[in-house]
Amino acid sequence: MRLPAAARSLVLIAIIAGACGSGSSTKSSTSIANRTAAASPRAAIGTPKAGAYAAEPALPQLKFGLAIGLFPIPGDDGFAYLLTKDGMIRRVSMNDGGATHDIVLDMSSRLITNPGLEEGLLGLAFAPDFATSRRIYLNYTAGPPREDTVSRFVMATSSVADVGSEEILLQIDDPFSNHNGGGMEFGPDGMLYIGFGDGGSGGDPNGNGQNKNVLLGKLLRIDVSGAKGYAVPHDNPFASGGGRGEVWAYGLRNPWRFDFDAATGRLWLSDVGQGTWEEVDLIVPGGNYGWNTMEGPVCFKPNTGCNQDGLILPRASYSHDGGSCSITGGYVYHGASMPELDGWYIYGDFCSKKVWALNTADASDPVLLTTSGTGITAFGKDVGGEIYILGSDGAPFKLVRK
């Protein structure tokens, strides 16, 4: 991710941020349009109207900076894990305004020394069998030397971690401090999906996005169901050759958060752009999303050639006009309080603080729902699927209808 110089001192977690702009343009490839038509979620009740929503202050006791995730704990009703970039995982109550909160795992000693703006604790996923295995998976920056790291811990209970149980599954040498990605989620197939940025600097100087033989600039898919380590699923696109077996999709710059639609199983990903465009992608196995040939819907370096053959253009994109800077991915909404948003993908922007919804059932333009009160570093949700908005400082907000 990249920010104007004046904003850098304020953006303590820019990689985690989203992007915005007063105008939104939508681009869809034929393959995306066909998949959308073939696997549409159930019709929502009514249609969301622009400006009809608000970001309402919520969980006022959780005034921790650098929040990068709020995840309901399976089997622990009313509680969630709040992640902060400094390495803290807190078990918090969703029922008393967050007044009940305790640190269950402190990762700070395992993080890189003197982390940059986009380094630290970046992601968490619960094992599908968490109720019995008690496994959680974490994505963080270790070092020196700098290494993007995925590991797993065993939680003795939902409020007590076995701090000595860490097993490091994957480490990638990372040349620069920015563009680390960090999102993780288990798919409906039980596989672990992991987003990694292109390695940093600007413009992808090492060409990682288009190099299928490296893990940077990719969405990975691995099988962690075994007792130790991980396996490459046999049905991964390059499991039999042509690239690293772990690669599920490539041509990504800085994938900051993605989500599987619980109704359709489709994967929606927000990829942070360079200096002009932000994008939302519908991920398909083996898909090439264009970076650094493309930035969003346009050629990144038009004067040096721009062969778009085989590239998948964004489902939606927006420029940096109007103060936008960096997209923050959220969730496909399936909560109960706003049925008109059912099946819509929610995402936002760090600089403009705007929140949009994208209809995953067609190719229509996004709807601007509201402008929040914080630079959006991440979205969270509760066990009922209601959406929370996290910022670089202060308490979370909740997305509500006015």
Domain boundaries, the chain: 5-401
What is the mean pLDDT of the segment spanning 37-43?
A: 45
Is the pLDDT score of 162 beyond 80? yes
C-alpha neighbours within 13 Å on the C-beta side of residue 386: 17
- Sign of the dihedral through C-alpha 379, 14, 66, 149: positive
* 30-34, 254-258, 297-301, range with the lowest pLDDT: 30-34
Is the pLDDT score of 356 beyond 50? yes
Summary mean pLDDT of the chain:
90
Is the pLDDT score of 171 beyond 50? yes
pLDDT score at 43: 52
Neighbour tally for 92: CB within 10 Å: 25
What is the mean pLDDT of the segment spanning 92-107?
A: 96
DSSP reduced 3-state for 285:
coil
For residues 217 and 237, the answer to whether their CB atoms sit within 8 Å is no
User: DSSP string of 82-108?
Assistant: EEETTTEEEEEETTTTT-SEEEEEE-G
- 5-401 is a CATH 2.120.10.30 domain: yes
CA angle, residues 36, 287, 303, in degrees to nearest 5: 110
pLDDT score at 37: 37
CA angle, residues 73, 65, 338, in degrees to nearest 5: 50
**pLDDT tens, residue by residue, 174-214:** 999 999 999 999 999 999 999 999 999 999 999 999 999 99
What is the mean pLDDT of the segment spanning 200-229?
A: 97
For residues 317 and 277, the answer to whether their CB atoms sit within 8 Å is yes
Residue 86's contacts (CB-CB under 8 Å, 6 or more residues apart) are 65, 66, 108, 111, 120, 121
pLDDT score at 305: 80
pLDDT score at 302: 83
What is the mean pLDDT of the segment spanning 118-131?
A: 97
For residues 358 and 315, the answer to whether their CB atoms sit within 8 Å is yes
Local confidence band at 278 (pLDDT 50, 70, 90 cut-offs): very high
Q: Is the pTM of this model over 0.95?
A: no
Question: What is the enclosing helix (H) or strand (E) of 8?
Answer: helix 5-8
Q: Tell the burial category of 104 from Cβ atoms under 10 Å away from its Cβ (0-12, 13-18, 19+).
A: buried
Alpha-carbon distance of 28 to 38, in angstroms, equals 15
Instruction: Name residue 281's beta-bridge partners.
Output: 269
Is the pLDDT score of 127 beyond 50? yes
Query: C-alpha dihedral over 357, 85, 256, 371, to 10 degrees?
Result: 30
Is the pLDDT score of 44 beyond 60? no
